[in-house]
């Protein structure tokens, strides 16, 4: 299914949306002959994938590709991924995503992840760079059936600190929804603008922020992440029933993502019953 962003937090002048690239991608994973295969793929516009990789046996690794190299005002990306029973897939990207400065128009991203009973899905894109002045509405919906296993993260880099660029203008509306057995289990919305970027109650000037979700998790996994965090500032973790939520703030997106990769490598053997096997693209 495709997610409608009409219920996202409203942005000013939203009616100014015009036509840009409208790209859609559907991926379906199935377990066949003792491994997961990409059994269904359909795309429209500039959004596709490379051929699957199998660096750890039966788990299917797929890299998402957006040939234009970035999302501009008026663009809309819609991605739907379905993991059928017993399948195991890891989705990442070969490089950071980019949302460019807007002249007042809105760029949209819709992602829906469906994970069947007994399936594993890992949603681990590299960071998304939000250029100063960008206007973005992004929403991600995760549908987990009973017995599904999931690890996913979102890492944002606001502005370009290396180029002395902050986030003094622009707007971002983000939303996560996690459904379990067809019922809404967790929902959050985040709105970021120049005030929220600078304020102590917001990002306090940190150019990178991120959230990581793990399901199902236990108090034992919570304790492992707490030990990783120690007394480090800007990091936190909590457990809501069997959903683990880890958050991070940093002045550098690469350092934040490196921490999330440590959390992923620590929890993956327990939660997914798979040893940590990093996609090779992360090392380039």
Q: How many distinct structural domains can be found in the chain? A: 1
pLDDT band for 1, please (50, 70, 90 cuts). very low
List Cβ neighbours of 276 (8 Å cut-off, separation of 6 or more): 264, 265, 268, 269
Alpha helices in the chain (DSSP H): 194-198, 219-229, 253-271
Please check the confidence at residue 17 and state whether its pLDDT lies above 60. no
The backbone region for 89, taken as left when phi is positive above 0, alpha when psi lies in -120 to 50, beta otherwise, is beta
Q: Which two tokens stand for residue 240?
A: 């809501």
Would residue 102 count as lying in a domain? yes
Tokens 């108090």 sit on residue: 219
pLDDT band for 160, please (50, 70, 90 cuts). confident
The pTM for the full model equals 0.91
Looking at residues 220-248, what average pLDDT do you find?
97
Give the pLDDT confidence score for residue 127 in this predicted structure: 95
Q: 32-77, pLDDT tens digit by residue?
A: 999 999 999 999 999 999 899 999 989 999 999 988 778 888 899 9
List Cβ neighbours of 257 (8 Å cut-off, separation of 6 or more): 126, 127, 155, 210
Would residue 210 count as lying in a domain? yes
Tokens 């939660």 sit on residue: 271
Q: 172-195, pLDDT tens digit by residue?
A: 999 999 999 999 999 999 999 999
Give the pLDDT confidence score for residue 283 in this predicted structure: 87
Give the pLDDT confidence score for residue 69 in this predicted structure: 78
Q: 117-143, pLDDT tens digit by residue?
A: 999 999 999 999 999 999 999 999 999
Beta bridge partners of 212: 153, 246
Looking at residues 238-257, what average pLDDT do you find?
96
DSSP output for 107-172: EEEEEEEEE-TT-EEEE-PPPEEE-TT-EEEEEEEEEE-TT-EEEEEEEEEESBGGGTB--SS-EE
Would residue 125 count as lying in a domain? yes
Please check the confidence at residue 7 and state whether its pLDDT lies above 80. no
Would residue 15 count as lying in a domain? no
Neighbour order of strands in the sheet with 135-144: 35-44, 22-32, 76-83, 107-115, 135-144, 171-180, 183-193
pLDDT band for 19, please (50, 70, 90 cuts). low
Cα Dmax for the chain: 54
Would residue 66 count as lying in a domain? yes
Would residue 218 count as lying in a domain? yes
Please check the confidence at residue 217 and state whether its pLDDT lies above 90. yes
Would residue 18 count as lying in a domain? no
Count other C-beta atoms under 10 Å from residue 43's C-beta: 15
- Calculate the alpha carbon distances from 209 to 37, 91, 148 in Å: 33, 20, 27
Looking at residues 152-177, what average pLDDT do you find?
91
Would residue 37 count as lying in a domain? yes
Count other C-beta atoms under 10 Å from residue 227's C-beta: 9
Give the pLDDT confidence score for residue 263 in this predicted structure: 98
Give the pLDDT confidence score for residue 266 in this predicted structure: 97
List Cβ neighbours of 1 (8 Å cut-off, separation of 6 or more): 80, 112, 114
Give the pLDDT confidence score for residue 12 in this predicted structure: 40
Question: 126 is in which domain, residue-wise?
Answer: 33-272
Spatial separation of the C-alpha atoms in residues 268 and 276, rounded to whole Å: 6
Residue that wins the pLDDT comparison between 11 and 27: 27
């Amino acid at each position: 299914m495709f997610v409608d962003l009409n219920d996202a937090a409203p942005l000013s002048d939203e009616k100014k949306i015009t036509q840009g690239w409208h790209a859609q991608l559907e991926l379906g994973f199935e377990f066949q002959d003792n491994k997961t295969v990409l059994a269904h793929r359909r795309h429209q516009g500039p959004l596709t994938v490379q051929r699957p990789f199998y660096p750890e046996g039966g788990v299917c690794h797929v890299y998402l590709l957006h040939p234009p190299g970035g999302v501009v005002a008026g663009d809309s990306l819609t991605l739907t991924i379905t993991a059928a029973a017993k399948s195991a897939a890891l989705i990442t990207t070969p490089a950071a995503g980019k949302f460019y400065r807007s002249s007042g128009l809105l760029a949209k991203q819709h992602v829906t992840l469906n994970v069947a009973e007994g399936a594993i899905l890992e949603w681990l894109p590299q960071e998304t760079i939000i250029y100063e002045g960008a206007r973005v509405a992004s929403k991600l919906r995760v549908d987990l059936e009973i017995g599904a296993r999931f690890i996913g993260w979102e890492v944002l880099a606001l502005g370009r600190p290396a180029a002395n660029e902050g986030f003094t203008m622009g707007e971002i509306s983000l939303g996560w929804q996690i459904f379990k057995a067809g019922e809404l289990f967790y929902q959050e919305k985040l709105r970021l603008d120049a005030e929220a970027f600078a304020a102590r109650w917001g990002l306090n000037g940190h150019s990178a922020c991120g959230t990581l979700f793990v399901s199902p998790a236990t108090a034992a996994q919570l304790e492992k992440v707490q030990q990783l965090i120690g007394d480090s500032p800007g990091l936190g973790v909590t457990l809501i029933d069997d959903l683990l939520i880890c958050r991070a703030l940093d002045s550098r997106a690469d350092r934040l993502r490196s921490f999330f990769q440590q959390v992923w490598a620590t929890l993956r053997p327990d939660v997914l019953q798979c040893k940590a096997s990093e996609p090779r693209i992360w090392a380039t």
